[in-house]
Amino acid sequence: MKIMVCLKQVPHQDARLDINSEGNWIKDDGIKFEINSYDLYALEEALRIKDAGEADVFAVSIGPERTTQALRTALGMGADRAIHVKDPEAEGSDSLGIARILAAVAAQESPDLILTGFMSDDGNFSAVGPMLAELLDLPHTTAALKVARSDGTTTVDREMEGGAHEVVALTGPCVVAVQTGLNQVRYASLKGIMAAKKKPLDVKTVAELGLSGRVGGAAAKVKIQSLALPPKGKGAEMLKGSANEIAAGLVSKIKELGLL
């Protein structure tokens, strides 16, 4: 069986977010990047299916040169090969543009299962998985907390509100967008990292995927007009001082509430 895992490289969760001069994204030079947290769970799930039987797991990512690092990490964790769509024409794509690129890769590879993260930690759209399924005419589900496969059926527990789960059964090839927490993500071992250096990492362009003019910023249907820090609202009363001074200030607040 063949499993495609879609990975996005996003600014590190602790990276400083300064708005760029155009006011439409953050300044992304000089900050650290990492694999989107949700996508790590997708990769781990694919690797667990591989560990339990036979599977060819390949990771796909779209992005500039730095994205190679994310794919090397995926190979180090245990993916068999990686595909890097590296092309300035892909930059500025909206969710549909990204889904088109991934769909073109999937059309060349015909995977039995496509795993994506439920959301990205930067754009927070939660769009690519279902869009990819629509473009490929495959069934899908989202917010997966458990994935089980047998006889060509993928049974997924998906997260509902208030801790309930909905169980959905998907027949044949399908797209599953996974929620964080569905497994415990492994680290790349030193041995894995060494082995990764010999694994295939193919680079593709937008033109090679037959998508010239259909993706990227020019084809994007939605765009950011402006970006700002959220308004502070009433805002919290900020306490300053040494740890002991702050503690004393907090204790007097708690006393005012009648809780001490």
Q: Which positions from 156 through 175 interact with another protein, judged by CB under 8 A?
A: 157-172, 174
* 218 lines the binding site for another protein (CB under 8 A): no
Total residues at the site for another protein (CB under 8 A)? 83
For the record, the structure tokens of 227 come out as 């970006």
CA–CA distance from 6 to each of 17, 40, 62, 69, 102 (Å)? 25, 10, 9, 15, 8
Give residue 175's identity as a one-letter amino acid code. Answer: V
Q: How far is the CB of 166 from another protein (least distance, A)?
A: 5
Instruction: Decide whether 99 or 114 has the Cβ nearer to another protein.
Output: 99
Q: Which positions from 222 through 241 interact with another protein, judged by CB under 8 A?
A: 222-233, 235-239
d(CA 247, CA 250): 5
Q: Are 115 and 6 in contact (CB under 8 A)?
A: yes
Q: Are 215 and 101 in contact (CB under 8 A)?
A: yes
* 248 lines the binding site for another protein (CB under 8 A): yes
Of these, 35, 71, 74, 128, which contacts another protein (CB under 8 A)? Answer: 128
Q: How far is the CB of 197 from another protein (least distance, A)?
A: 29
- Listed ranges 28-36, 61-69, 108-116, 216-224: which one lies at the site for another protein (CB under 8 A): 216-224
Of these, 9, 11, 35, 117, which contacts another protein (CB under 8 A)? Answer: 11
Of these, 127, 209, 211, 215, which contacts another protein (CB under 8 A)? Answer: 127
Q: Which positions from 14 through 53 interact with another protein, judged by CB under 8 A?
A: 17, 19, 26, 37
Instruction: Decide whether 73 or 154 has the Cβ nearer to another protein.
Output: 154
28 exposure class (CB count in 10 Å sphere: 0-12, 13-18, 19+):
middle
Instruction: Decide whether 21 or 184 has the Cβ nearer to another protein.
Output: 184
Q: How far is the CB of 78 from another protein (least distance, A)?
A: 20
CA–CA distance from 241 to each of 68, 159, 254 (Å)? 45, 43, 18
Q: Is the dihedral of CA 14, 83, 79, 41 positive or negative?
A: positive
Of these, 22, 53, 124, 151, which contacts another protein (CB under 8 A)? Answer: 124
CA 31 from centre of chain: 18
Q: Which positions from 64 through 123 interact with another protein, judged by CB under 8 A?
A: 94-96, 99, 121-123
Instruction: Decide whether 98 or 196 has the Cβ nearer to another protein.
Output: 98
Calculate the dihedral angle through the C-alpha atoms of 193, 198, 42, 89, rounding to the nearest 10 degrees: 120
